[in-house]
Chains A and B, each alone.
Chain A
Amino acid sequence: MKMLKTFPDKCITCHNCESACSKLYFKEDNAKKSCVVINEEIYPPEMIVCNQCGTCVDVCPTLALTINTQGVVILNKSLCIGCLMCVAACPINSMRFTENVYNPFKCIACGICTRTCPAEAIEIVTA
């Protein structure tokens, strides 16, 4: 299974990962539209990102969520009807949604964030 591994002790809360993620997928620098979330209200910071556990896959009524050959949970937007049941079911709040975007979104372990992290606090692993 391909997934992001986080090291909160190393995180310097620069939020570069959020910028990189939202710029890639939403073409804007907006933490609300990032699949990885850095919560610096606690210390060490909380790094919220999908662990590809598949809970969301089991609740999706249209089978829009599937697990690909690399073990990554993928959303097929053309099947998604935006019910957000997956958002409620996610045990670690890593299925994300934001205003004016009808489909939820999530980390697909592309690794763009790892390349912008100056502290090596986040990396792609194959478990």
Chain B
Amino acid sequence: MNRKLIAEFKYAPAPVIRGYNKRSLYINLSTGEIKEKPVTELMIDKFVGGKGFDLYLMWHAIKDETKWDSPENEICISFGPLCGNTSYPGSGKSIVTTISPLTGIPVDCNVGGHFGPYTKFSGWDAIELQGIAKEEVIVYIDGDKGVVQILSAPDEEINSHIFAEELIKEFADSEDKYQFVSVVSSGKAAENVLITCLNFSFWDKRRKVARLKQAGRGGTGSVFRHKKIKALVVKYSGLKVDSNNPVDVETLRKRGLKLHQEIEAGDSTQNRMRQVGTAHLMEIMNDYDLLPIRNFKYGQMPEAEGLHSREFKKLFTQGMPDGCWFGCSLSCCKAVDNFEPRTGPYKGKKVCVDGPEYETAAGCGSNIGVFNARDVVEINFYCDTYGVDTISFGTSTAFAMECYENGILNKERTGGLELTWGNADAALELLHQMARGDGFGVIVGQGVRKMKQIFAEKYGADPDFLQDIGMEAKGLEYSQYMSKESLAQQGGYTLALKGPQHDEAWLIFMDMVNNQIPTFKDKAEALHYFPMFRTWFGLQGLCKLPWNDIEPANNAETDEPAKVPEHVQNYVDIYTAITGKPLNKKTLIEQSERVYNFQKVFCLRMGKGRRIDDVPPYRAVGPVTEEEYLSRQDRYDKQLKEKLNIDPEGKSTTEKMDILRKYREDQYQQLIDAVYERKGWNAQGVPKIEHLQKIGMDLPEVIEVVKRFL
């Protein structure tokens, strides 16, 4: 490819010391300025790394009124001090943040692939991308030579499954060195819609293809393309077991080996991550009435057998070390090889499809009434290569289908598409329209919140009904679990800072199935601890899955099995082994609590984050429609009797629904009171100044924002 050099910056590569480079890379696409910025001791002490660095850099780069498409909005990508070690499974994550086009507040995505570790070992603890380029560009980091370049990008093909591979071949020194190059890209849909993602590549030496992992949530791909970035490319060839220069490599290796051994011994009888990845959850969720079906109306259906993990196992190539970073023996990123799409521009071509993972199989399968595994694989493929988030696509399409079912939409309004449950062809056509930038797909691609406005204004739909069934909060679409019967999970979703994603807290089994957190106080404690613990992965550049998707054989006998105490101790140990800094299980949570509250205040600064924003659609809390009530009548009638002392006999379904709704909404509000109290926030969800002082997040700029809301 003939590329014009637009800007260049040379730097001296230097080894990472104890997990840190102590410098970050700033790139202004508007001006072509590329520079190095110091990572200060304050950043390390208060923000640790990863998402902490991203948020700190973004905070100081944007204004209160910055929108997703403002030039000063940034895409920040950071890696964390533990990122890139090859010893402990799940250690290759990048964390991406930006002001989201869906929510207007910071979104954070934790993503695999080789880009993060290679960029870190190229010399950078974080990257800031600011401004909007005058022409289409790629940004290239050569970590071997110490050069950063902005290059013109006249490339025609930007869909990721082809583009990532082309760039790897272009920038690698030779064919046997493809694995040293990684690409971040999006796809055609990111130019037209908002429910978009970024793809982070890793070269799969066995399959000889570029595999793609997604920074999925919140529309990162749209920001990327709005900045006229077609791709980021990194090359780094020097990876070793001690590339982080850890202080105690032996402890790191021993903890890693022990986990490898647990996985060897336990995975085939625990979660079968190596065989089917997170898709093992499909039948579990269906069995427990938790699988979202038809826009979260139902949690169980006999048809879900079609999406049983055995169906995906038939499609996934078996026996491959499918880690998205070196040294991950959990190997959950499964792939369908030689898949031939039956629609769209790549119809009939053999492609490698990453996944489907659980979220995709539920969102692009059961939630839109599609129960054929191959249809899910095809939707998955086009979402990825076009740069569309499979979670938001699933939830948005499910919403549109329910609107179609209710007559809010019809063929005339959808441009001829029959958005009936299970119509996979129509769902695929929506995707192709998103990529082409035409048709009803562009409306669906704005996400649920914008669709609600459009359908109310344009088609006279009842805004209350749309609010009840539109599965979004703060503007972000729900991920794929039914929270109706778990109060704690309702909070887990709605209190999640970026919007309803399950990465802060997944408490359904603790709460609903095992009844381990019966009181408001118990639930509030869980909604404090787990979001803080899980935040820590994003500070370090780690994956959550090796924490509890494999458990030590004796885990059930420990005091707190839900926390997997031995693995938490592993994290404490490897943190100290790499950074040399002391840590224990308590100070681990404190690291997170500082950054978590900083992000909370950041949300307030950008206009969201108060109690009025922590509101779930009623579909996430209880039955909106009669058919939903009737599908679980026994459960709901029993609740009326036992919890409310109300005899359901002789009452109409509508009467019972009204009583149940009042009760459940009241329970939710009581939960919120308890959680805010536990988190050190006031009744409006604003962090108290004394709490921020106590946890050490009382920076003047933070206090100044909080004072506006007190």
Contact = CB atoms under 8 A, between A and B. Distances in A.
What's the interface size class on A, roughly?
A: 10 to 19
Contact of B260 (A58, A85, A102): A85
B323 A87 contact: no
B401 to A, nearest CB: 41
Contacts of B329: 59, 83, 85, 88-89
Contact of B321 (A59, A81, A99): A59
Interface stretch (B239-247, B347-355, B383-391, B550-558): B239-247
B321 A85 contact: yes
Of listed A58, A63, A82, residue having the most chain B CB within 10 A? A82
Contact of A58 (B86, B256, B319, B328): B319
A83 B241 contact: yes
A100 interface: yes
Interface string A43-61: 0000000000000001111
What's the interface size class on B, roughly?
A: 20 to 34
Given A81-B239, A84-B87, A84-B256, A62 B326 contact: yes
B264 A89 contact: yes
B263 A81 contact: no
Interface in A75-108: 81-85, 87-89, 97, 99-100, 102
Give the interface SS of chain B, mostly helix, strand, loop or mixed: loop
B257 A88 contact: yes
Given A63-B205, A63-B206, A102-B242, A84 B260 contact: yes
Nearest to A81: B86
B250 A87 contact: no
A99 B264 CA distance: 22
Contacts of A58: 319, 321
Interface string B197-240: 00000000110000000000000000000000000000000011
B86 A83 contact: yes
Contacts of B263: 88
B226 to A, nearest CB: 35
A83 B261 CA distance: 12
A99 to B, nearest CB: 5
B327 A88 contact: no
25 contacts: A60-B321, A61-B323, A61-B326, A61-B328, A62-B326, A63-B205, A81-B239, A81-B240, A81-B326, A82-B241, A82-B253, A83-B86, A83-B241, A83-B327, A84-B87, A84-B260, A84-B327, A85-B260, A85-B329, A87-B260, A88-B260, A88-B261, A89-B329, A102-B240, A102-B242
Given A82-B240, A87-B257, A89-B329, 11 more contacts: A61-B321, A81-B86, A81-B240, A81-B327, A82-B241, A84-B87, A84-B257, A88-B257, A88-B263, A88-B264, A102-B249
